Amino acid sequence: MSMTHYMSLLASNQPWNLIIFMAIPVICAETLTISEFFIIFDRVKSGGLRTLNKIVGIFAGFYFTGIFFYLLFNAVIPLTTTNGWHTWVDVVAVGFYLSGVLFLLPIALMEIGVIFKNKTDEEKMKIHFMLVGGFLVVAHIAMIFGMVNPEIIDSMSVMPGMTN
């Protein structure tokens, strides 16, 4: 069975790639999500839970930015220049995975005070929640498309009796 580069990355160099590229980002996202619900529900502005959320947000943003650049230069650019993608589904899986940086990096930058400095606590809470939610959406899209066998997509375009 053929697999996307996303799934191939997670399956190779076990268990390290799975830990580095999946477990750590997912554990961070789940920690952010769960703590985010409590922070929003109770309007928490300080304390242990808010500190945990802030530390995880900073770590996840910069950690995933590192992943983004590593995979951009070691996977995306080489695959694109050599036409090595396994159908469009492969591009979608990797593209959506890497787009997570658009959500996690702003969380880190907001937490260290680089962006959204003039927003109220309420506005920052909403932005934070939307960014966490956005990351969860793109990460799940990446996982779904990453699990698709690209041979199925490739063979669909040449199915007998179907016209293109």
pLDDT tens digit sequence for 23-74: 999 999 999 999 999 999 998 889 999 999 999 999 999 999 999 999 999 9
**CA angle at 144 for the pair 132 and 72, rounded to the nearest 5°:** 70
pLDDT at 164 exceeding the cut of 70 = no
Q: Average the pLDDT over 63-91 and give the result.
A: 95
Q: Which pTM was predicted?
A: 0.89
Tell me the average pLDDT of the chain: 91
106 within 8 A of 134, measured Cβ to Cβ: no
70-84, 91-105, 146-160: least confidently modelled range: 146-160
Provide, rounded to the nearest whole percent, the portion of the chain with pLDDT above 70.
Answer: 93
d(CA 39, CA 44): 5
- Integer Cα distance of 155 and 152 in angstroms: 5
Q: Which pLDDT score is estimated for 1?
A: 62
Would you list the DSSP string of 20-39? IIIIHHHHHHHHHHHHHHHH
